[in-house]
Chain A
Amino acid sequence: MSQTHHIDGWSCPVPLQDFPHIVMGHGGGGKLSADLFEHLIRPAFDNSILRERTDAAILPEISGRLAMSADSFVVRPLFFPGGSIGDLAVNGTINDLAMMGAIPKYLSVSFILEEGLPLASLARIVRDMAQTARKHNVSIVTGDTKVVERSRESGCLIQTTGLGSIPDGVDLSAKRIEEGDVVLLSGSIADHGIAILGQREGFQFESDIASDTAALSDLVHLLLKAAPVRMLRDPTRGGVAASLNEISVACGRGIEIRESDIRVKPAVRHVCEMLGLDPLTVANEGKLLAIVPAAHAGRALETLRSHPLGREAGCIGSVVAAHPGHVVERTVFGSTRLISLPAGDLLPRIC
Chain B
Amino acid sequence: MTSRTAFRNPALAESILRDIRRMIRRPWTLMEVCGGQTHALIRHGLDQLLPAPIEIVHGPGCPVCVTPVGTIDRALALAARSDVIFCTFGDMLRVPGSRTDLQRIKALGGDVRILYSPLDALKIARANPSREVIFFGIGFETTAPAHAMAIHQASRESLANFSMLTSLVRVPPALKALLAEGDQRVQAILAAGHVCSVMGTEEYPAIAEQFRVPIVVTGFEPVDLLEGIRLAVRQREAGIFQVENAYGRAVTAEGNREAQARIFEVFEEADREWRGIGVIPNSGFRIRERYRGYDADARFAHDIVAMPATTACRSGEVLRGRLKPDECEAFGSICTPQTPLGATMVSGEGACAAYFHAGKLLKLGTPHQANAIHVSNASH
Contact = CB atoms under 8 A, between A and B. Distances in A.
Q: In the complex, is A directly touching B at CB under 8 Å?
A: yes
Contacts of B240: none
A331 B13 CA distance: 12
Interface of A: 201-203, 274-276, 323, 326, 328, 331-338, 340, 343, 345, 347-351
A347 B348 contact: yes
B135 to A, nearest CB: 11
Contacts of A202: 87, 113-117, 120
Interface in B137-192: 138-140, 142-143
Contact of A203 (B14, B43, B116): B116
Interface stretch (B44-52, B73-81, B205-213, B306-314): B44-52
A275 B116 CA distance: 8
Q: Which DSSP category, helix, strand, loop or mixed, fits chain A's interface? A: loop
B379 interface: no
B138 A351 contact: yes
B108 interface: no
A233 B140 CA distance: 42
A203 B366 CA distance: 38
Contacts of B222: 333
A332 B10 contact: yes
B365 A351 contact: no
24 contacts: A201-B120, A201-B124, A202-B114, A202-B117, A203-B115, A275-B90, A323-B362, A333-B14, A333-B44, A333-B222, A335-B48, A337-B359, A337-B364, A338-B357, A338-B358, A343-B94, A343-B338, A347-B94, A349-B89, A349-B348, A350-B116, A350-B143, A351-B35, A351-B138
B90 A348 contact: yes
Given A201-B120, A276-B348, A351 B91 contact: yes
Ranked nearest first, the 10 interchain pairs of A and B with the lowest CB-CB distance are A335-B45, A338-B359, A349-B348, A202-B115, A348-B90, A335-B48, A350-B89, A347-B90, A202-B120, A332-B10
A92 B114 CA distance: 27
Nearest to A347: B90
Nearest to A260: B10
B351 to A, nearest CB: 14
Contact of B366 (A335, A340, A348): A335
B105 to A, nearest CB: 14
B54 interface: no
Contacts of B94: 343, 347
A333 B49 contact: yes
B358 A337 contact: yes
A338 B364 contact: yes
A192 to B, nearest CB: 19
Contact of A336 (B113, B347, B365): B365
Contacts of B46: 333, 335
A281 to B, nearest CB: 10
Nearest to B360: A338
B328 interface: no
Interface string B325-363: 000000000000110000000011100000011110010
Nearest to B222: A333
A343 B93 CA distance: 12
Nearest to A270: B4
Nearest to B226: A333
Contacts of B359: 326, 328, 336-338, 340
A39 to B, nearest CB: 36
Given A201-B120, A202-B114, A323-B362, A351 B357 contact: no
B68 interface: no
Contact of B13 (A333, A336, A350, A351): A333
A29 to B, nearest CB: 30
A334 B365 CA distance: 10
Contacts of B27: none
